[in-house]
Structure 1
Amino acid sequence: MKAVIFDLDGTLIDSAPDLHIATNRVLTEEGLPEISFGQLRGFIGKGAGVLISRVMEAVGLGDDASEHARLLARFMQHYEGEPKNTVLYPGVIDALARLEAMGYTMGLCTNKPEAPTRIALRHFGLDRYFVQVASGDTLPQRKPDPAPLTHVLRALGADCALYVGDSEVDAETAQAAAMPIALYTEGYRKTALAELPPAYAFDHWDRLPEIVHRHFAEVSA
């Protein structure tokens, strides 16, 4: 069985606007300075806990564990509802539908916590495409540890897979799992593409089905 496993934030959806709003609501409630949208984008990738750690550092709060836990809980209260400003990247649904019609099994591997992951998948009608999902709290480990990605691969019962992501974290995860990656270049990546480098790169979702087809044709050859 051949599988395609996807990241979520920065790959399928652009969630940075809602993450930015939720973060600044917490900071405002705490009487702290807001952070810019550009700063927030740079904090995304390793889950909500790391995001809050980076926010705390940015506003001079240090790394107190109890304060982190409190602010993370406040952040999740603001963030866990229906996404209001998050959007799908252009062409995502068409590409997933084409991959489904081509007979590929699909899974999801994200560092986003399970509750907002499920809400986002349902909100955008993505849940029908993913047979298995690993969220940021499914296992003790999070990306770039390869465990969540290999967990999804085993759960799908696939003998080979292509990972689709957007960031340095995704590239590192795929490398650690010895799995090739197709990198969506319009997400949250900050490093030059040549420094990663992915097996494949694409800037629009209408290109992905052909990349997947070509990859597995070469694997089977």
Structure 2
Amino acid sequence: MYSGGQNLSVGPATVAGVGITVGFDLDMTLIDPRPGMAAAMNALGAESGLPLDGESFAANLGPPLDDILRGFEAPEERIPGLVDRFRALYPEMVVPITVALPGAAEALRAVRAAGGRTLVVTGKYGPNAQLHVDALGFEVDDLVGELWSTRKAGALLAHGAQAYVGDHLGDIRGALAADAIAVAVATGPCTREELAAEGAAVVFESLEEFPDWFARTFAGSAV
């Protein structure tokens, strides 16, 4: 199911598929990984001897990990190794204590039940993102990792996504760059006002509001 961020090829089933494709961000849109993310970053800091702030990291999820490490003033030459080590810590430290956000499973099911397809496009390392999808039993047709902000547009366009749902300003930018409906959920670090000002067509308090909106917006489109 996972395809890397640099591989945006679409199989015949996706190209010829009927119905609506809706893309979703992962962190703080479908899942809440903050306790594990904080713990993993703090563990990385302890191992590396660098002042890495797990709590700050977890409170501002969205940007790529290498950019986060630069923000913590990690030496540039050490960043590739730090990224690899964080990814290695991730399956045991983050996945087991991550929970689904309210309405996440129901939002995915609403699209699938209407004959549509679901796509996760995330900045997270794809194999670790797939672990979350599998652990939580999410109904996801395709997953593309390691894409952030407007770079998400390539995956959304390749998979024919008509809407993209996310919690961060970068998600709104990605949706708009793909000419998809930008749907925001105020469960992450950005406020309702910030998300609306960035261009979100609608802002939800949680994904519990998504199924009704989807039914109204795409009535008769998905088969």
With normalisation by structure 1, the TM-score equals 0.81
Cross-structure match for 2:81: 70
Assess if the C-alpha contact under 8 Å between 1:95 and 1:206 holds in 2: yes
Cross-structure match for 2:184: 183
- CA drift of 1:219 comes to 8.3
- CA drift of 1:200 comes to 0.9
Look up the equivalent residue of 2:123 and give its one-letter code: N
Task: For structure 1, list consecutive stretches of 5 or more residues without a partner in the other structure.
Answer: 137-141
1:22 aligned onto 2:26: no
Cross-structure match for 1:216: 218
Cross-structure match for 1:117: 129
SS at match of 1:80: helix
1:46 aligned onto 2:48: no
Assess if the C-alpha contact under 8 Å between 1:132 and 1:152 holds in 2: no
- CA drift of 1:43 comes to 4.2
Deviations 1:100-150 (A, max 9, x none): 212221111111011101111111111xx22221111xxxxx32234x444
Task: For structure 2, list consecutive stretches of 5 or more residues without a partner in the other structure.
Answer: 1-18
Select which of 134, 154, 157 maps to 2:158: 154
Label 1:115 to 1:74 Cα distance change in 2 as closer, same or farther (>3 A): same
Please give the alpha-carbon distance, in whole angstroms, between the structure 1 residues aligned to 2:218 and 2:106: 20
Please give the alpha-carbon distance, in whole angstroms, between the structure 1 residues aligned to 2:203 and 2:60: 22
Look up the equivalent residue of 2:145 and give its one-letter code: S
Look up the equivalent residue of 1:77 and give its one-letter code: A
Please give the alpha-carbon distance, in whole angstroms, between the structure 2 residues aligned to 1:188 and 1:152: 23
Q: How many residues align?
A: 202
SS at match of 1:192: helix
- CA drift of 1:7 comes to 0.6
Please give the alpha-carbon distance, in whole angstroms, between the structure 1 residues aligned to 2:98 and 2:115: 29
Please give the alpha-carbon distance, in whole angstroms, between the structure 2 residues aligned to 1:202 and 1:11: 11
With normalisation by structure 2, the TM-score equals 0.80
Select which of 135, 138, 150 maps to 1:145: 150
Please give the alpha-carbon distance, in whole angstroms, between the structure 2 residues aligned to 1:30 and 1:132: 35
Identical-pair percentage: 25
